[in-house]
Amino acid sequence: MSLPVFLTARAQRDVDDAYDWWARHRSAEQARRWRDECVQAVDSLAEKHLLCGLAPERGEFAFDMRQLNFGLSRRPTHRVVFTVRPEMILVLRVQHLAQRRLSPDDI
């Protein structure tokens, strides 16, 4: 079942911040490639959201949370954290895998 995918304002800021980091610390080309991979991962949720694993911190929230890991190479570096609602997929955050688990204050 295909559902529309939406990003929260916080998730969009996460993407913008990560893009800026890649551009400053790596290169503009890697930043562009990272953003392309992120967009591709987010877009894939429309069809494949139920194939994604549960987020480890899901027990701290009143709703289910799933995650999709992605990166520039075979080794994922980031995750898209989202929830499935009856009418849509809502992306809550985009995080580096080394970042701490989310708390309710982070959403």
Give the angle 28-100-91 at the CA atoms, nearest 5°: 65
Neighbours of 41 (CB within 10 A): 21
Strands (E), 13-59: 53-54
**What is the reported pLDDT for 73?**
84
Where are the chain's structural domains? Answer: 5-99
Nearest residue to 93 (alpha-carbon basis) of 17, 6, 11, 7:
11
For the segment 69-73, the average pLDDT, to the nearest whole number, is 92
Q: Does domain 5-99 have CATH number 3.30.2310.20?
A: yes
Query: What angle (nearest 5°) sits at the alpha carbon of residue 90, between those of residues 84 and 91?
Result: 115
Q: 16-25, 32-41, 56-65 — which is least confidently predicted?
A: 56-65
Q: How confident is the model at residue 74 (pLDDT cuts 50, 70, 90)?
A: confident
Six-digit token string for 74: 């075979």
Query: Rounded to two decimals, what is the model's pTM?
Result: 0.94
